[in-house]
Amino acid sequence: MNIIIANSSPDPIYEQICQQIKNAIVKGELTPGDLLPSIRNLARELRISVITSKRAYEELEREGFIETVGGKGTFVSLHNTELLREKRMQLIEEKLTETVMESKILDISLATLHEMLDLLYKEV
């Protein structure tokens, strides 16, 4: 799994970490039961403060993506499929938004876009 922190990003560092770990989970790069680095290890690797990496983990734990087992470490949660599906839907929505925006820039009509989608849906 890669975590890239952009200093230029308007998002706080802990949010960037949360987002990327969530993405890795949704994409299946991280699967339920996978062991995550410890808070202090993550802080050292990314050169961030312990508080920041702790906050990222707290956030992910609150949202049910990860679980900390005392003395053993932090693991990717066994998700209920609904949450995961919801997250994946969100991802699709984001990508479609991107596509629509790109299409508008290129002046592609909704009808043309529909046609393209129909074709692709059958082909893939």
Residue 101 identity (one-letter amino acid)? M
Q: Which is nearer to other proteins, 52 or 74 (CB)?
A: 52
Cα–Cα dist 2/34, whole Å: 15
Options 12-20, 82-90, 98-106, 114-122: segment touching other proteins (CB under 8 A): 12-20
**Cβ(33)–Cβ(25) below 8 Å:** no
Which one among 49, 80, 109, 112 touches other proteins, defined by CB under 8 A? 49
The C-alpha atoms of residue 64 and residue 105 are separated, in whole angstroms, by 38
Nearer to other proteins, 27 or 62 (CB): 62
Q: CA 105 to CA 116: how far, in whole Å?
A: 16
**Burial (Cβ within 10 Å: 0-12, 13-18, ≥19) of residue 120:** exposed
- Beta carbon of residue 1, minimum distance to other proteins (angstroms, whole number): 20
Residue of the chain from 2, 4, 28, 47 that contacts other proteins (CB under 8 A): 47
Residue closer to other proteins by CB (options 50, 110) is 50
Residue numbers at the binding site for other proteins (CB under 8 A): 10, 12-14, 40-41, 43-44, 47-52, 55
